[in-house]
Amino acid sequence: MELVLFDAFNGLIQGTFYALMALGLSLIISLNSVINFAHGGFMVIGAYLAFTLAPYIGFWGALFAGPILAGLLGILVERVLVRRLYGRADPIYSLLLTFGLALIIENSVRSIWGAQGQPFRIPAGLDSPVSSVYFFLTGYRVFVMAAIALAAASLFAFLRFSRFGLRIRAGILDLETVSALGVNVYLLRAVNFAIGIALAGFAGVLAAGVLQLSPTMGNDVIMATFVAIVVGGIGSLLGSVLGGLIIGLAAGVTAAYYPVASDVVIYVIMAFVLIVRPRGLLGQEGLFE
């Protein structure tokens, strides 16, 4: 029983990462109309930046600096590259562009930090179990879940209550009208892209403390992120979170009973959802088609 709990808990942790990644990617898909294949790459960048900075500014400093720097890089990429694709009707180009970007990021990370995995040191107070029975409940893991929940909640609050957040939501619904009302949609899209990337960076830093850092750690995560979005319903931010948690948990539970299938199960869930409820759990009909 404890083993099942252990795997389920692990899955849930994994699910919170997927949820945070999916949340950022969903934002970008919705307002920037771009499927960001490099989203996993930006996660890796956030993690490695934090890894490099941590010796100088400490874990807590790096936890914030990593995502912020990744977000700034996101703005740069949006301004220089992604922006050029907004006018193109065929979304294939944004896929290819971000795909190329993902290749560049992975390769650059490998040449800068090496192909080998790197351990990421977490604060001493956080790495001991909080419960003697449930040994897997380390302080760090509990912290990760709380931090991600806080980040997601802040994002939803930002979108709901701040003026800028309201504009983003309005832009998602109808960018042309928002533009006609005098809102600077260039800025809106750039900031939105950066927020999505920063969330990926944040997920990266937190994940680095659980897993090992490696240049390819984003590759599998990006696919799981896609699955989370499809399962939750494309266009629904809440759906992305839900989708992420569900597939993470499902993978964890499967790992307890039939470990060989734990990677495949999320894709099987996706296929099942697509047949039974093609628009996803919380998705709307006909969006982004």
* Contact residues for other proteins, defined by CB under 8 A: 29, 33, 35, 37, 81, 84-85, 88, 90-93, 95-97, 99-104, 106-108, 111, 219, 223, 226-227, 229-230, 234, 260-261, 263-264, 267-268, 270-271, 274-275, 278, 288-289
Q: Which residues is 213 bridged to in the sheet? A: 118
Q: Min. distance of Cβ 257 from other proteins in angstroms?
A: 15
d(CA 64, CA 97): 28
CB of 48 to other proteins, least distance (A): 16
State residue 131 phi and psi, 5-degree precision: -135, 140
CA distance 177 to 188: 13
Residue placing its CB nearer to other proteins in the complex, 111 or 162: 111
Give the end-to-end CA distance of the chain in Å, rounded to a whole number: 45
Smallest separation, CB 33 to other proteins (Å): 8
- Shortest Å distance, C-beta 31 to other proteins: 14
**CB closer to other proteins, 122 vs 224:** 224
Whichever of 157 and 261 has its CB closer to other proteins, that residue is 261
For residues 54 and 247, which CB has a smaller minimum distance to other proteins in the complex? 247
Whose Cβ is closer to other proteins: residue 41's or residue 46's?
Answer: 41
